[in-house]
Amino acid sequence: MSRLLLASVAILLANCGFTLRGDAPTGLKSLYVSNDMPSQVAVEVKRTLASSATRLTKTPSEAEAHLRITSETREKTIFTITGAGRVYEFQLRLLVTYVVQVPGKDEPLIAPTEIDIRRVVTYSETAPVAKEAEEALLYRDMVTEATGQVLRRISAVRRAGEQ
């Protein structure tokens, strides 16, 4: 019975087009990544591209394009208050601004663009350490999502330019 179930799940997954996420294709042979301020997204982009076909360069002039993270801001605001006036939920926000420039050209490949990612996390006075860990995990997930968005946008613009 379990073999039949396993075989049917495998057939369904194969027929629906499901594939594991591969490397992060940018459509670029080389990329220079810089940041104007400390940026977890820049670190994550470099880490992701290190295992891909895109070569990271040491200077912008060597690269096909220059990704510059101009700002990365984290915010935490009160989202919901209980009837007793206590905080029930916080909203976490990650705001990343970046630009992609082709060395030697005045017009950017991607104009300054903002990525705005928000998550809501509940607050508990009885488990503050656990909630801090949950908050850190959510921020890490938001950085991963922002990294994916940046790389997909570079890839989409690059493919559109080739057509």
Per-residue pLDDT of the chain (163 residues; tens, 9 = 90+): 667 666 666 676 666 655 445 555 667 889 999 999 999 999 999 999 998 889 999 999 999 999 999 999 999 999 999 999 999 999 999 999 999 999 889 899 999 999 999 999 999 889 989 999 999 999 999 999 999 999 999 988 877 766 5
What does pTM read for this prediction? 0.80
pLDDT for the residue numbered 6: 67
pLDDT for the residue numbered 65: 93
In order of start, what are the domains of the chain with their CATH numbers? 23-162 (3.30.160.150)
pLDDT for the residue numbered 3: 76
In which element (H, E) is residue 116 found?
A: strand 110-122
pLDDT for the residue numbered 4: 67
pLDDT for the residue numbered 145: 97
Q: What is the DSSP string of 23-67?
A: ----S-SEEEEEESS--HHHHHHHHHHHTSSSEE-SSGGGSSEEE
Q: Using alpha carbons only, how large is the chain's radius of gyration in Å?
A: 20
Residues 39/72, Cβ–Cβ less than 8 Å: yes
Phi-psi map region of 161: left, alpha, beta (phi>0 left; psi -120 to 50 alpha): alpha
